[in-house]
Each structure stands twice: as C-alpha cells, then as structure tokens.
C-alpha cells in the first residue's frame, strides 16, 4: 500500500494549492474520522494536508448578531468559549457533550460537519440554528449543506473556513447517546428566533434533517405540550442494532419535548 505524503500549510491559500497539486489528497482536521478509516483500509489518500497550522481557521468571535467559529476550532474550545457560553449556551453544551475528553480536544467543527456522520452532534446545531457554512470560495446555507449519508454540498477541494451561527432567543440540544461512542442514537436541537422555530434531528436518518411537524407545532406555541401526540414518520429513519426506525421516531418526539422544556428553563 502506498504511503500518503504529509503536508502542513500555514495559510488557506497554501492548503488550496496543495489540494490542486495532489490528486486524491485529503484534508486533515482533527483526524477523528479519517485516520481510523485509513487504518481500516477504507481510505488510501495520496496526500494528507494537515490544517492544524492554519491559525486563521481557529477561534471564534461575535459578528453582529452571529457567533462565528473557525473551522479548526476544537469541540473543547467551543465548549469553554465565553462567547459561545454567553451567546449560544446550547451550542457550547452540545460541544461539551461530544465523545470523550480526547475527542473533544482533537475533533474540530469543520471536520465534523464536512464528514457529515449521520450520528454526529454538530450537524444538528448547524441545521437547528440555521447557520451559514463559509468556505474559501462561497457561503452555503445549512439547509443546503447536508445532502445524505456522509455527503455534503462541498465540492472537491473546497475548504470550510468558518461557520456563522445566528444567535437565537433560546435554544437547547438533547440527545440519547450510544453509551460506548457517545454519538447520538437520536439528538434534537430546538431553536427559537422570534416566533419562528427550527428543530433539527441527528442520529435518526442518513444525515441531519429538520423535523417540520415539530417546527409547525412549536411555532404556533412554544410549549412542551405542543410536542405531545405528534407522530414522526419512521419510513425513512435508520434501523440498526441500537434501535429500530420506530424507536427512533418515538425518541425524536420525546427528546424534542425535553429540549423545549430545557430551553424554557423548566425542570
């Protein structure tokens, strides 16, 4: 098996240049997905382009009514960020609940959403908050970003630079974790902006998706009782050894209710 060459650029421009010069090169963010895939023989890139040296991809800042987080910002950095904790505490809590301490200190926002694992936590936050994914070429609305099983709207060679999260009036994320991996068997992110409500689900389908019946009910009345009696169709949901599609459909409504309760500050 051929050995991948290793590169550590210090700028986005340098990273882009390396991508064009190396066929079948892969970007290395936190390495939490790509390195295990290589060990299992599922991936054999010709080159690894490590983004950890690109300082402009790290950190977060307040930009008007949005929280902008760099693509190479680790989960731990988001969880501990004063900006995230003050402006979108639900997002800070989401980041703090990803995996274990090692994963949180290595995994990155950009790497997570670019991978689009169907059970990852961040896609629910990106979609639930109606965030905008920024790349070196363009901006992509969250509603257009996640396309399917490990599939996104990113084009070959496109580099995520940051994600801009609008600050909601209130929000919450609740997940039912798989005990070993801490991935979401089902996770539900609820966010209210004025009268409008967004509800995003992870762990239940091929990728993160919005739960329109819950959004419509909660937009009419943002209350836990609005989630009662709602039936989430199970025909397109995942079935695996951890749970059936019907079980996941049941969990979506249960966790949405808990998320609303938490967002309202109710015990």
**pLDDT tens figures, 94-121:** 999 999 999 999 999 999 999 999 999 9
What global pTM score does this model have? Answer: 0.95
CATH of the domain at 8: 3.30.43.10
Alpha carbons 192 and 17: distance in angstroms, whole number: 41
Alpha carbons 150 and 130: distance in angstroms, whole number: 20
Alpha carbons 91 and 262: distance in angstroms, whole number: 13
103 within some domain: no
By C-alpha distance, which of 57, 84, 160, 175 is closest to 124?
175
How many structural domains does the chain have?
2
Element (H or E) spanning 143, and its range? helix 142-145
120 within some domain: no
164 within some domain: no
Paired tokens of 59: 């950190």
Alpha carbons 200 and 167: distance in angstroms, whole number: 16
Query: What is the residue-wise DSSP string for 148-166?
Result: ETTEESPPTT--EEEEEEE
Paired tokens of 64: 């008007």
Alpha carbons 28 and 58: distance in angstroms, whole number: 14
Last residue of a domain, one of 10, 38, 54: 54
CATH of the domain at 189: 3.30.390.50
Paired tokens of 26: 């892969």
Average pLDDT per 10 consecutive residues for the chain, totaling 267 residues: 85 94 91 89 92 96 96 97 97 96 95 96 98 97 97 95 98 94 94 97 97 96 93 93 94 97 90
End-to-end CA gap in the chain: 56
Alpha carbons 12 and 20: distance in angstroms, whole number: 13
75 within some domain: no
Q: At what angle do helices 245-263 and 212-220 cross, to 10 degrees?
A: 30
Quick one: pLDDT at residue 2? 62
- Domain with 226, as residue range(s), is 170-263
Q: 160 pairs with which residues across the strands?
A: 135
Q: 50 pairs with which residues across the strands?
A: 28
Quick one: pLDDT at residue 1? 47
96 within some domain: no
Element (H or E) spanning 255, and its range? helix 245-263
């Amino acid at each position: 098996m051929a050995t991948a060459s290793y590169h550590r650029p210090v700028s986005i421009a340098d990273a882009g240049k390396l991508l064009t010069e190396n066929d079948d090169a892969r970007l290395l963010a936190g390495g939490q997905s790509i390195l295990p895939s290589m060990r299992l023989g599922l991936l054999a890139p010709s080159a690894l382009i490590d983004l950890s040296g690109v300082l402009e991809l790290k950190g977060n800042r307040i930009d008007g009514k949005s929280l902008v987080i760099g693509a190479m910002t680790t989960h731990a950095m988001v969880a501990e960020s004063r900006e995230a904790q003050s402006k979108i505490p639900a997002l800070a809590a989401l980041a703090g609940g990803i995996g274990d301490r090692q994963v949180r200190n290595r995994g990155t926002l950009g790497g997570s959403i670019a991978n689009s694992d169907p059970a990852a936590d961040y896609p629910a936050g990106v979609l639930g908050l109606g965030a905008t994914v920024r790349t070196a070429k363009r901006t992509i609305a969250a509603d257009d970003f996640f396309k399917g099983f490990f599939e996104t709207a990113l084009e070959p060679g496109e580099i995520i630079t940051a994600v801009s999260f609008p600050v909601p009036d209130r929000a919450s994320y609740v997940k039912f974790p798989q005990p070993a991996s801490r991935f979401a068997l089902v996770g539900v992110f609820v966010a209210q902006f004025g009268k409008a409500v967004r509800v995003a689900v992870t762990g239940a389908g091929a990728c993160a998706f919005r739960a329109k019946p819950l959004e419509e009910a909660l937009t009419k009345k943002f209350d836990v009782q609005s989630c009662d009696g709602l039936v989430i169709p199970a025909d397109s949901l995942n079935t695996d050894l951890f749970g059936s599609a019907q079980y996941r459909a049941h969990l979506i409504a249960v966790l949405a209710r808990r998320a609303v309760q938490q967002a309202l500050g109710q015990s």
